[in-house]
Amino acid sequence: MTVEENIKKVLAEHITPVLQTHGGDCQFIKFDEQTGILYVSLVGACGTCPYAQETLRMTVEQTITNFIPEVKEVARA
């Protein structure tokens, strides 16, 4: 499995279910293998939430980096 496939799997299995309980979601945009930066889009309630940056850092980035060491940072696209 490629890094991108692994990222999408972790998003689908571990992050999307959590965010959907709050009316939001996280969509894969791209992964830059050179820098290790994963770009995502927060949608639904998460896209307009005042705590979106915290969700990105504490939920998305922490989960992704625990499962996929190639990802060094998660940023909003």
pLDDT at residue 24 in the model? 93
More confident residue, 65 or 22: 65
Q: Which residue has the higher pLDDT, 30 or 56?
A: 30
What pLDDT does 46 receive?
87
- Between 50 and 10, the more confident residue is 10
**HEC secondary structure over 23-42:** CEEEEEEEEECCCCEEEEEE
At 35-56, the pLDDT tens digits run 999 999 999 998 888 888 888 8
Span 63-77, pLDDT tens digits: 999 999 999 999 998
Pick 48 or 12 by higher pLDDT: 12
